[in-house]
Each structure stands twice: as structure tokens, then as C-alpha cells.
Chains A and B, each alone.
Chain A
Amino acid sequence: MISIPVRYLYDHLYKDLDLEILAGEKGMDRAIRIARIQKPGLALAGFLDQLHRDRVQILGATELSYLETLDQDLGDERMDQLCSAGVSCLIIAKNLIAPESLVNLCELHQVPLLRSPEITSSLIRRVTVYLEDVLAPETSVHGCLVDVFGVGILLIGKSGIGKSECALGLVARGHRLVGDDVVVLRRKMQDAIFGSAENLIKYHMEIRGLGILNIRDLFGVSSIRKSKKIELVVELVEWHNDLKVERLGLEDNTYSMLGLEIPYLNIPVRPARDLTMIIEVAARNHLLRRMGFNAAKEFDKTLNERLASQTQDTGKPDLESME
């Protein structure tokens, strides 16, 4: 399971969110494992069931003003329960004043107590966006990722099949390279996978016969991009006679990555097949499908209508076409 220490969150966000550490600095290595934050209002009211470990707790005006209404002893007890429940850290919004006992308890239990001038709703949003990004499930694949007409296409296939050459061809036609050879995949926002280049080799490509190329220097800043959502996986395969290939485009095949199913095409490679152009057309076709037009299915429908109208009346009910 992916986790980050609170220190990471602080280091990455202290400028943006103007964070300060009020107490519990010794607990900066505590882990954050869940991207969703919690507002511990009900926990402070005594209901601890849903108070989750390893999550960031955000205290806004509601929580702090509620604490003020409690007796000193009861308030201290509730804050003690909150601090000892294994939460990752507490962040106070709107630069509100931290109750003295909370500061002491955070110090005692070594739970970082941070504070930001940001208002609660925006603090929640920004912390969540950050955590979703850093805690996203990640893997890497051997392939090339190119943005073709705004469609993120991941090219995969055996080593030497021509993925890089194909990607270079696309870049030369004005499309944008995200990564070559090693593409880092991250699942974000539940239903999307974003790919990016591995840091060391980003914007670089190796082409047999030419060596290592810097695409940004060769083609300019508009030829690259940092990351792109993957909408289509294209596998390049060697052409041989018993290869099973989709001929109609009626089947919707998918490729499984990080638990999501991404539309998938299998494209045979053979001399004189202009792969770059075929991939470009695949991108156009994907855009059409995304808008609800499927050429293969439209054609199939027209054909079936024609067949139905030409069918001779045999006197018997035609069970098959009635299905």
C-alpha cells in the first residue's frame, strides 16, 4: 500500500498553503495512506467509530467552536481521543487559534499540528488533490505514449517492432510525445489512468541507427507534453498468416491496466503499411466513437436493414431476424 510521511505533504505544500507547524514536529514521519481527508466533528462529539487511522484531519471553525462549548475536562478528553487514534496529522484552517490543550496533546502524542490561512473548503480540496496525486496506484510499462489529436495513445508491443519509430513519425506530423520506452502509469480520480515519462529520460527517444534523440530540442516545446490521460492502447504485432485480427471493428476490445479497462486495438505491422497514418486514423476514429458514432456499427445497421428489406417472404416466420 502506498503511503507518504506527513513531512512530504508539508514540504510540498507549505509554500502554496502557507503551512506552519504548531506542535508535534516529532511525528512528521507518521504515514498518510488515504487520500480522502476527514473532518473530525463527530469524533469530537464522542462518536469515534468512523475516525480513521492514517488520514489527514482538518479542523475548521465548526470543530473549534464546538470544542469551546465543551467543559475543559470533556474537551481535553475528546481531543486526547482524537490525537491517540493514529491519525496522520491535524490541519487547522483559516489561521484559527489552536486551543492550548490541543497543542499540548499533539506534542505529547507526537501528532503534527499544522495550520494554514486557507479557508476550510479550499484547504480540503487542495490537500485532497495533492494526496490523490501522490497516493495514486502506479506502475510502469514498456511502450510509448503519444498525444494524437488530443487522444492519449499508448503504443505497446515487442521490442524492435517499431514503437519508437511510429511515435517519432507521429511527432514529425505535429503530434506530441509524452514518453518513450518506459511510461509511468498512475491511476487518478478512480476512472482515469495518466501516463508520464520517467524523469531521467523524459523528452528523449532512442531510434535504431540514429541513437538517443532529444525530441524537445529537435521539434520544439509543442512536440512534447508532461503527462496525458490514456484513452487508447495500441499493440503493434508482427504480421503472420494465422494472426487473428479485428477486420470489422464491431468488437470493443479492452486492455486491463491498474484495474481499469482501456479501449484496445491490435495492429499488424508489415512493410508498406504506413503505421503513423494508421495510428492517426485510429485516433480520429476514437474521437468519433467518443462522440457516439461508430462507423462499423452504423454500417452493420444499414446492411441489416437492406438485408431485411430484400428478404423474400418464404411464408414461414423468420425467427432469426425477429430476435
Chain B
Amino acid sequence: MVRVELVIPNKLGLHARAAGKLVEAASPFDCEIWLNKGQQRVNGKSIMGILTLAAARGETIVMEITGPDEERALKVLKKLVLSGFGEKA
């Protein structure tokens, strides 16, 4: 299992489109992906799950990935989050 703590950088936070991008990026990997915010724990391949986190800018989410291509998944997803989901601010 690999694990990373990420601070949401973009202005709008983990909004619907951002969640969509995250799920789209996560789904191809043959891994279990879990996102945690505080006590909440949701599946990283589920849009509705990620939306329930309602993670705003500056909040920390913890990503846990388990599976054969976990390292690659971590790299890709971490990059996506830290780039602010490809948004400007």
C-alpha cells in the first residue's frame, strides 16, 4: 500500500468537475484507491463518494492506494491533485 497526504490547492476545491477528473484518472488502474478526509473514507473511483468529502482549498486529503500498479497510480493522481486539477488557480 502506498499513501500520500495532499493539500487541495485550487480555488474551487474538490468540486464536481475536479472529482470527475480524479475518477477518470483513477479508474484505469488495477488498484483499490481510498481517499480520507478526517474520519471520512471514500472510494477514489466513485464520483459521489469523492463529492461527499466536500474538500475545500487548503484541506488535506489522504490517498491510500493498493494494487499491482499502485506506484504509477500514486504518481499520476498526486500530480493531478497538486496541479489543481488542471485549473488556473
B80 at interface (Cβ–Cβ under 8 A)?
A: no
**A140 contacts partner chain B, Cβ-Cβ < 8 Å:** yes
A182 touches B16 (CB 8 A): no
**Known: A159-B43, A160-B27, A212-B16. Contact between A142 and B51, CB under 8 A?**
no
A204 to B27, CA, bound (A): 21
Q: What is the distance, in angstroms, from B87's C-beta to the closest C-beta of chain A?
A: 20
Residue A200 at the chain B interface, CB threshold 8 Å = yes
- A180 on interface, CB distance cutoff 8 Å: yes
With contacts A140-B40, A159-B27, A200-B54 taken as known, whether A206 is within 8 angstroms of B45 at the C-beta atoms is: no
Within 8 A of B (CB), among A120-171: 140, 142, 159-160
Asked whether A160 lies within 8 Å of B45 as measured between CB atoms, the reply is yes
Which residues of B21-66 are within 8 A (CB) of A?
27, 40-43, 45-49, 51-52, 54
Q: Give the residue name and chain of the A residue nearest to B41 (CB).
A: A140
User: Which of A140, A142, A200, A212 is within 8 Å of B47, CB to CB?
Assistant: A212
State whether A198 and B43 are in contact (beta carbons under 8 Å apart), knowing that A159-B27, A160-B27 are contacts in the complex.
Answer: no
Select from chain A the residue with minimum beta-carbon distance to B54: A200
CB-CB nearest in chain A for B40 = A140
- What are the residues of chain A within 8 A of B48 when measuring CB–CB? 180-182, 201, 204-206, 212
The residues of A that contact B27 with a CB separation of less than 8 Å are 159-160
Shortest beta-carbon distance, B5 to chain A, in Å? 21
Could you say which of A159, A182, A205, A212 contacts B52, with CB atoms under 8 Å apart?
A: A182
Give me 11 other A-B pairs in contact (C-beta within 8 A), A201-B51, A212-B16 excluded.
A140-B42, A142-B42, A160-B45, A180-B48, A181-B47, A181-B49, A182-B42, A182-B49, A201-B48, A201-B52, A204-B48
Closest CB-CB distance, A7 to chain B, in whole Å? 21
Given contacts A159-B27, A160-B27, A182-B42, contact A142 B52 (CB under 8 A): no
CB proximity to B under 8 Å, residues A186-216? 198, 200-201, 204-206, 212
Q: Would you call A198 and B52 a contact (CB within 8 A)?
A: yes
**Interface size bracket, A side:** 10 to 19
Chain B residue numbers with a CB within 8 Å of A200 are 51-52, 54
CB interface residues, A 204-252, toward B, < 8 Å: 204-206, 212
Which A residues are closer than 8 A to B by beta carbons? 140, 142, 159-160, 180-182, 198, 200-201, 204-206, 212
Chain B contributes a number of interface residues (CB within 8 A of A) equal to 14
With a CB–CB cut-off of 8 A, which chain A residues contact B40?
140
Task: Evaluate contact between A159 and B46: CB separation under 8 angstroms.
Answer: yes
Query: In the complex, what's the smallest C-beta–C-beta distance from B49 to chain A, in angstroms?
Result: 5
A198–B42 CA distance with the chains assembled, in angstroms = 11
Partner pick for A206 among B42, B47, B54, CB 8 A cutoff: B47
Specify which chain B residues have a CB less than 8 angstroms from the CB of A142 in the assembled complex: 42-43, 46, 49
Measured CA separation A160–B54 after assembly (Å)? 22
Q: For the complex formed, measure the closest distance between the CB of A53 and the CB atoms of chain B, giving whole angstroms.
A: 25
Set of chain B residues within 8 Å of A182, measured between Cβ atoms: 42, 46, 48-49, 52
Residues of B within 8 A of A198 (CB): 52
Return B36 CB to nearest CB of chain A, in Å: 11
Question: Measured between C-beta atoms, what is the minimum distance from B69 to chain A in Å?
Answer: 15
Considering the complex of A and B, which 6 residue pairs feature the smallest CB-CB distances, nearest first? A181-B48, A159-B45, A142-B43, A198-B52, A206-B47, A181-B46
The interface centre, meaning the residue of B40, B48, B51 with most chain A CB atoms within 10 A of its CB, is B48
Minimum Cβ distance to chain B for residue A181 (Å): 4
**How many angstroms from the CA of A205 to the CA of B51 in the assembled complex?**
11
From residue A310, how far is it (CB to closest CB) to chain B in Å?
52
Q: Chain B's nearest CB lies how many Å from the CB of A16?
A: 28
Residue of B nearest to A144 (CB): B48
Shortest B40–chain A CB gap in Å is: 7
Chain A residue numbers with a CB within 8 Å of B41 are 140
Interface CB pairs A-B, < 8 A, 8: A140-B40, A140-B41, A159-B27, A159-B43, A181-B52, A182-B42, A182-B46, A201-B52
